[in-house]
Structure 1
């Protein structure tokens, strides 16, 4: 009798395994429709999931909205503080402009190195290889719009990005500061002082401009601001270039080189401004003769 029950259990186990394998094979085969038990199980499971998930999503959404409200409140406070600072700065700028105009009238100065006019432009093309030696952009303004060779070009945030390399009637080519062209040199000053050097070269690995030929006796520190000096004969004065992040002496021991973080992202440029210097530019021939005499 015990042997009979043992064999019966074994037979039931084998039959169950066979039925299970058959069901698995049946469920895995490609079918256009599910059986009614499968449909019933899936529908019931889906209904239960919906019943549970809706309140869960609702509660999660409430907490998410509360978190968004808190973030919005904090950002609002920061923006209001920035607006207050902006209003104060705007007032100071207007006051300084007024004082500057009055001083210029007293001194009978008609022109200034910082006076310039702006022409709005949009980038319509760029060289395919952004890492090639000459970084070039094509803009939609040309000689018919008053754009000429060697004019300064600034980004939408007012930072210098390069100069006009050549100009056609309706388009112009802009050479970026990140270009490795050795003739692409710009006279720059540090914090608007008499400490000057030349923006010449670009460290691609660090993403920094090189401010060279700074006299070794001058003190140059991190976080100082660099802008155009206005003495290069082409660019207006006080156009922002970037911020100093490091300084090191040159091999000759007579000068220093500062690494400058650009104020603009050279690889995210769309709307630009071409800057025309108002003050009469010196004759390039006279400047070249002056440099030869100095040598």
Structure 2
């Protein structure tokens, strides 16, 4: 009995090998049509491959896209950093150009201050109070800066030194609301000079007010206003601005001219202090007796 089963197993194995070889040989033959078992196996295998390959490709593409996205983010971050650096450098270049132009213009006006010793200074602070309109500059008594010295930019007169310390000074702008802030001025009207005082600032219009102009003076729009130089405190001929409007003063005894400043009071970085040279003794007495110019 055991021998029978052993022979039976051998026979089954041999038959299976023969069938397998036959199937292999049959599949390798030049048939134009597969048998249904072969077709079933191929279809099943293809379906399984399709079912497995699609999610596999999806996952692979997902991670590939994720990597590309990360690379793109890194590149964009680097480009943004470079653009920010270029923008910063461009801003610095423009500021340096602006500063250079302002300093050059300030140097160009030195020739008109022959009786004065110009001192270049830089604004290092500003009081936000519109009533006082004060600047802090980086020059003081150690540099020869004193109270009431005129302060100018390349575009004209902006104010005076209100007080001075060893290394810094406080400058009061013409646009200050302080009623004691005034300067003797002159309107150039052809060959004629019309005198008055810059005292007051119309904050709503953004214009300086030149008061005490004679009622019969022929003041016209567009005429240039300069410092008169009276009293010897300020140089004569410093540009203040241009007339844009004229109106009768209270009681009609004088006129008031509204002046557009030559300098931009909101954008001041570099200034020049006109340090007085030697003033004759009689002029010093006149300065003490006259009203404070500014």
TM-score (norm 2): 0.57
What does residue 247 of structure 1 align with? 246
What does residue 123 of structure 2 align with? 123
CA contact (8 A) 1:114 1:230 kept: no
Q: 1:134 and 1:222, CA in 2 relative to 1: closer, same or farther beyond 3 A?
A: same
Query: What is the correspondence of 1:71-150 to structure 2 with a 5 Å cutoff?
Result: 115-127=115-127, 129=128, 131-150=129-148
How far the C-alpha of 1:169 sits from its partner, in A, is 1.1
How many pairs does the alignment contain?
A: 189
How far the C-alpha of 1:283 sits from its partner, in A, is 5.6
Unmatched runs of 5 consecutive residues or more in structure 2: 1-57, 69-107
Q: Based on CA coordinates, which of the two structures has the bigger radius of gyration?
A: 2
Unmatched runs of 5 consecutive residues or more in structure 1: 1-32, 44-89, 98-111
CA contact (8 A) 1:113 1:279 kept: no
What does residue 18 of structure 1 align with? none
| Candidates 164, 169, 194, aligned match of 1:167 | 164
- 1:7-51 CA-to-partner distances (Å, cap 9, x unmatched) read xxxxxxxxxxxxxxxxxxxxxxxxxx98959x99xx9xxxxxxxx
In 1: Cα distance, 2:261 partner to 2:212 partner:
18
In 2: Cα distance, 1:255 partner to 1:152 partner:
27
Measured on the aligned residues, the alpha-carbon RMSD in Å equals 3.1
CA contact (8 A) 2:243 2:258 kept: yes
Q: 1:280 and 1:205, CA in 2 relative to 1: closer, same or farther beyond 3 A?
A: same
What does residue 29 of structure 1 align with? none
What does residue 257 of structure 2 align with? 258
CA contact (8 A) 1:142 1:169 kept: yes
Q: 1:151 and 1:181, CA in 2 relative to 1: closer, same or farther beyond 3 A?
A: same
- 1:88-111 CA-to-partner distances (Å, cap 9, x unmatched) read xx9xx9xxx9xxxxxxxxxxxxxx
What does residue 203 of structure 2 align with? 204
Is the partner of 2:251 in helix, strand or coil?
coil
How far the C-alpha of 1:117 sits from its partner, in A, is 1.9
In 1: Cα distance, 2:216 partner to 2:245 partner:
16
Is the partner of 1:194 in helix, strand or coil?
strand
